[in-house]
């Protein structure tokens, strides 16, 4: 299966390197498209083209990776599906629910071509282990969750496409907080109620720099999310509190290394009046980020076996973007 990558910025390079690291002989990158020619010494075996239609119209290409700014994503995904190609696209799955619905319509007409979106946080080893513990019910049902995901940006950020609503579609929530919301959905399935505050507290852009949101489902499970670009110290914290204990992930292995070490702790609670004592705590520190390769393997396996995308397909994307739209509407 031959792969074409459209967009060769940070994410395009990550995907290219992941394909090489996996080393699956059935999948290889043969063509890259970008407005700026990359250093082809890094990948001499790949042909570079400026016009991405040279990838979409290439009958020798079976799979397209879409790694472009958000304003281009929807049209390229649809054109790739219409061209009879499998598609792996970076998040977000469209700038809004309307764009995603157009993508889903194209997917339905694509003769069972695979469509997967890049939510690599689901594929971190710490998250996969947390999900295994949650599903085992060893700690009972989830009661509530809390997610904090924040970073600082420099004034240079103001000149990037991510700071422009027309291109990006949204600010820090659509760019980064969407990952945390996706992890909430991974753990409990869905939410029905949303309360949110969307604001520009500092940067005064036409996209938000902070979102405070609370989600609740019919089972009464509540999740609290804070997504911010005024967290002057980069922070990732994902907490799950259950009937019989807790699971906490602090730090996250990323390509930038800005979020520190990835640490997972799991503890069972032992109620001893008048205080709560935590015993049998398990602590794991992860040193290698396997999420990119885990994600690619899942996508490739779905193509090889001709089976539905296990997670991060259009079904998961629709649940996610429906909630994203609700958050932004409350901020209008």
* CA 94/CA 129 separation, integer angstroms: 29
Cβ(302)–Cβ(279) under 8 Å?
Answer: no
Counting DSSP H helices and E strands in the chain, the numbers are: 10, 14
**pLDDT computed for residue 272 by the predictor:** 57
Contacts of residue 234, defined as CB under 8 A and 6 or more positions apart, other chains included, come to 150, 151, 152, 258, 259, 260
Tokens of residue 181, six digits: 């919301």
* CA 237/CA 7 separation, integer angstroms: 30
The full set of domains in the chain, from first to last, is 2-118+293-308 (3.40.50.720), 125-252+254-287 (3.30.360.10)
Alpha-helical (H) ranges within 86-192 are 97-108, 125-136, 165-168, 172, 178-188
pTM of the model: 0.96
Q: What is the pLDDT along the chain (332 residues), one digit of tens a residue?
A: 999 999 999 999 999 999 999 999 999 999 999 988 877 776 788 999 999 999 999 999 999 999 999 999 999 999 999 999 999 999 999 999 999 999 999 999 999 999 999 999 999 999 999 999 999 999 999 999 999 999 999 889 999 999 999 999 999 999 999 999 999 999 999 999 999 999 998 999 999 999 999 999 999 999 999 999 999 999 999 999 999 999 999 999 998 889 999 999 999 886 655 445 666 789 999 999 999 999 999 999 999 999 999 999 999 999 999 999 999 999 86
**pLDDT computed for residue 273 by the predictor:** 54
């Amino acid at each position: 299966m031959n792969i074409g990558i459209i967009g060769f910025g940070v994410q395009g390079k990550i995907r290219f390197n992941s394909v090489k690291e996996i080393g699956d002989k059935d999948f290889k990158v043969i063509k890259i498209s970008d407005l700026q020619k990359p250093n082809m010494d890094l990948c001499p075996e790949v042909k570079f083209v400026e016009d991405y239609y040279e990838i979409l119209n290439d009958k020798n290409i079976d799979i397209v990776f879409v790694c472009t700014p958000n304003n281009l994503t929807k049209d390229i995904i649809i054109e790739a599906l219409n061209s009879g190609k499998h598609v792996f696209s970076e998040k977000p799955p469209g700038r809004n629910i309307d764009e995603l619905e157009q993508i889903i319509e194209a997917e339905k007409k694509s003769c069972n071509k695979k469509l997967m979106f890049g939510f690599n946080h689901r594929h971190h080893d710490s998250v996969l282990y947390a999900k295994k513990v949650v599903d085992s019910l060893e700690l009972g049902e989830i009661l509530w969750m809390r997610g904090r995901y924040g970073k600082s940006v420099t004034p240079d950020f103001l000149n990037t496409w991510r700071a422009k609503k027309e291109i990006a579609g949204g600010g820090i929530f659509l760019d980064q907080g969407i990952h945390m919301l996706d992890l909430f959905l991974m753990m409990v399935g869905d939410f029905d109620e949303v309360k949110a505050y969307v604001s520009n507290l500092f940067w005064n852009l036409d996209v938000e720099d902070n979102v405070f949101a609370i989600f609740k489902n019919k089972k009464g499970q509540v999740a609290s999310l804070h997504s911010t670009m005024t967290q002057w110290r980069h922070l990732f914290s994902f907490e799950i509190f259950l009937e019989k204990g807790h699971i906490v992930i602090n730090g996250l292995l990323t390509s930038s290394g800005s979020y520190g070490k990835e640490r997972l702790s799991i503890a069972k609670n032992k109620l001893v009046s008048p205080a709560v004592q935590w015993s049998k705590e398990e602590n794991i520190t992860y040193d290698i980020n396997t999420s990119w390769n885990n994600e690619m393997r899942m996508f490739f396996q779905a193509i090889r076996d001709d089976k539905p995308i296990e997670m991060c397909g259009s079904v998961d994307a629709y649940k996610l973007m429906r909630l994203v739209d609700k958050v932004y509407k409350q901020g209008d």
